[in-house]
Structure 1
Amino acid sequence: MRIALSGVFLAVQMLAAQAQTAAEREACQANFEKFCKGVEPGGGRVIQCLTEHFSELTPECQKVVKANTPG
């Protein structure tokens, strides 16, 4: 259990590298856990996963993803 939580923390931290504020990280944490739990952080994989589930994300997380996705 501790290892799993560490993995989630690491993934959220990787998202944090993209998202600039604690509020942005918090806006997507539950979405990450729901849709992207098995995604290995790094190389933009977390943002890519969230983008693939964009229509299912909370409005707050959608804003974060839009702000951190090029183009």
Structure 2
Amino acid sequence: MRIAFSVLFLATQLTANAAMAQTAAEREACKADYEKFCTGVEQGGGRIIKCLNDHLSELTPECQKVVKANSPG
């Protein structure tokens, strides 16, 4: 299950931004925040990173850094 989540999260994020380099540390930094705020979000089209960005002030500091580094603009 954990591997499936990691692969799913990575695939979603790579789809959202092809130039974005997701590391295991980045995925781990946002795992709890993803599960808390974005589990119902449909994958693809950058929707998960947008969801995390919409909750930026509520995310852990580690995840905030990942989202800021990987958000377009």
TM-score by shorter chain over 0.5: yes
TM category (shorter chain) comes to: 0.7 to 0.9
Q: Once structures 1 and 2 are overlaid, which stretch shifts more, 46-55 or 18-27? A: 18-27
CA distance in structure 2 between the aligned counterparts of 1:42 and 1:22, rounded to whole angstroms:
20
What residue is the counterpart of 1:33 in the other structure? 35
Contiguous gaps of at least 5 residues in structure 1: none
What do you get for the CA RMSD once the two structures are aligned? Answer: 1.9
Following TM superposition, where does structure 1 have runs of at least 4 consecutive aligned residues deviating by more than 3 angstroms?
none
Aligned position for 1:64: 66
CA deviation map 1:7-62 (0-9, x unaligned): x722x2313x2452110010001100000010111100000000110000000000
- Percent identity, aligned pairs only, is 69
- 1:46 — aligned with what? 48
Q: Confirm or deny: 8 A CA contact 1:51 1:65 kept in the other structure.
A: yes
Q: Under a length normalisation based on structure 1, what TM-score does the superposition of the two structures give?
A: 0.79
Give the letter aligned to residue 65 of structure 1. Answer: V
Unaligned runs of 5+ in 2: 15-19
Amino acid across the alignment from 1:53: H
Equivalent residues of 1:32, 1:50 under 8 A apart: yes
